[in-house]
Structure 1
Amino acid sequence: MSTQEAAATWDAEWEEEARAELRRRQGLGARYDAENAPHRELAWARSGTAFFARKLAELGDDELDEPSLLAGWSRRHLVAHVGYNGRALTRLTEWARTGEETPMYSSAEQRNAEIERGSTLPARALRNLFAHSEVHLNVEWRDLPEAAWDAEVRTAQGRTVPARETAWMRTREVWVHAVDLDNGGSFYDFPRDLLEELLADVLRSWQRRGEHVALTLAPAGAEQVVVGQGGPTVSGALPDLVRWLTGRGARRLTSSTGEVPEIPRWF
């Protein structure tokens, strides 16, 4: 067993022991995620929610009117999006639990109109939208039965996925959009294993869409990742590479061709 494999095994054992100890302390009657739940992704989603909440709390009400890092969206639009995304993922979780189809959104037009309306809410109501939606989603996750985690639901992009995918979908939203609030959040705040999974997620997204990408990623201190048939080598710290791959700029990166290449969108 390699050192990396041994560390991963130790982490998994430590997490299981920590969950068991928490249950002993909380006693009978406490409610927990099902054993079949995606515990790693749920932990990421919950810590990312706390990260987003902290960055949001640092902003004054007037600062919500200022631009986010997403073109055409103010911070108000971004907070509304994250709040309504929580509600949309709650609908998928309810679908898995009840078997009754409840799509994320009725249409792309409905989603966009919802965000636009949400961006006009008073600041307090906008903050409550985020807070209440994340609590509702977390309750649905916690109470989802074992078998329901593998029930199939459909994403807004039309992909059929098991309900466990909702934890990863939320992880992406809260962590990356915390940076998009543009008040000091950084990909350098992300856990390394989350950065590695985000990198893999971008590559999976390209593959699903049939994007023909040929390049080599060279994260500092880690093995290179060959994409497609390989191509220009883009080097830099892992947080900077992931920021670029997710469409948020190529700062501090270098390329073997002298210019960092254009890449397809993430999703």
Structure 2
Amino acid sequence: MVARHDLATDPGLQEDLLQARRGTAFFARKLNELSDAELDGGTLLPDWTRRHVVAHVGYNARAIARLLEWAATGVETPMYSSPEARNHEISFGATLSPIALRNLFDHSAVHLSVEWRDLPDENWTHEVRTAQGRTVPASETVWMRTREVWVHAVDLDNGATFNDIPAPVLERLLKDITGAWKTRGTDTGLLINVNDTTGNGAALTFGDTSATNPTIITGPLPAVVEWATGRGTSGVTATGPSAESAVLAAPKWI
């Protein structure tokens, strides 16, 4: 039997797909480490149990798969019919039995991977619309999923940390977050200095680089992204007029 493989031939897209699938495998490993009883435990997200996180990640795969169907057929297929429908879906998913919840994650992940696999080269540039209303090429769905699985694996709060997330994913995520801040104007006077991003002393700077007396957040890449996503402040320091005695809370991201 002929082996099935991704129809996409662009090397960059192939690498992105690999990173998304690695993130999915990492989330699956952290989920499988949890007992059924531990699914009722808390997470790094307020008011969400592990059940909510697993349900969200499962239904997110289905929603992104709908965008791939849109790109493949040209028939508009939104991620969700409404924000309320999305929230209801997650709440319902959190009530599923442990085996059903695990099956939701497994089956939805396979479905999405197949949709990626079977999308022809020429369809990856077809435009679709995200749940936030952004119009993006179908290729953006790979990053959308990559971000979800890696960060929510940490949110399960059973051992994964931002140090487990590959540096290229962390760097792109930080660019996304600081870009959102800039668009909203919430980064005024805030400068983020990332030191030693790859272990070779490389550094990155984000935020309001024109500020004359900024509040400066400094730390290694995993710690800065953890702070920027609102997941913690360990490993970062704050200096400047707004730092006070504690590390400044990050602006809202999403």
TM-score by length of 1: 0.85
Q: CA deviation at 1:262?
A: 3.0
Q: CA deviation at 1:101?
A: 0.5
% same residue: 55
Q: 1:186 aligns with which of 161, 164, 177?
A: 161
Q: Which residue of 1 aligns with 2:77?
A: 102
The unaligned stretches of length 5 or more in structure 1 are: 1-26
Secondary structure of 1:82's counterpart equals: helix
Q: 1:203 aligns with which of 165, 174, 178?
A: 178
Is residue 83 of structure 1 aligned with residue 58 of structure 2? yes
Q: CA deviation at 1:173?
A: 0.4
- Contact 2:147 2:169 survives alignment (8 Å): no
Is residue 245 of structure 1 aligned with residue 228 of structure 2? yes
Please list the CA deviations of residues 51-106 of structure 1 after superposition, one character each: whole Å capped at 9, or x if unmatched: 10000000000000111111011100110000000000000000000000110000
Amino acid at match of 1:124: I
Please list the CA deviations of residues 94-148 of structure 1 after superposition, one character each: whole Å capped at 9, or x if unmatched: 0000000110000011000011111111000000000000000000001001111
> Counterparts in 2 of 1:226-237, with a 5 A limit?
226-228=206-208, 229-230=210-211, 231-237=214-220
Q: Which residue of 2 aligns with 1:34?
A: 8
Secondary structure of 1:114's counterpart equals: helix
> Counterparts in 2 of 1:113-124, with a 5 A limit?
113-124=88-99
Secondary structure of 2:47's counterpart equals: coil
Q: CA deviation at 1:201?
A: 1.3
Change (3 A) 1:66 1:29: closer
Amino acid at match of 1:77: H
Change (3 A) 1:29 1:183: closer
Q: 1:137 aligns with which of 102, 112, 115?
A: 112
- Contact 2:177 2:228 survives alignment (8 Å): yes
Q: How many residues align?
A: 241
Change (3 A) 1:187 1:29: closer
Q: Which residue of 1 aligns with 2:137?
A: 162
Change (3 A) 1:96 1:209: farther
- Contact 1:218 1:234 survives alignment (8 Å): yes
Secondary structure of 2:96's counterpart equals: coil
Q: 2:205 aligns with which of 219, 225, 236?
A: 225
In structure 1, C-alpha distance between the alignment counterparts of 2:15 and 2:189, rounded to whole Å: 30
- Contact 1:240 1:252 survives alignment (8 Å): yes
Q: Which residue of 2 aligns with 1:59?
A: 34
When you count helix as a share of all residues, which structure comes out higher?
Answer: 1
Q: CA deviation at 1:28?
A: 5.6
Which deviates more from structure 2 when the two are superposed, residues 243-252 or residues 182-191? Answer: 243-252
Which deviates more from structure 2 when the two are superposed, residues 202-211 or residues 186-195? Answer: 202-211
TM-score by length of 2: 0.90
Q: Which residue of 2 aligns with 1:260?
A: 247
Which deviates more from structure 2 when the two are superposed, residues 187-196 or residues 173-182? Answer: 187-196
In structure 1, C-alpha distance between the alignment counterparts of 2:127 and 2:165, rounded to whole Å: 29
- Contact 1:213 1:263 survives alignment (8 Å): no
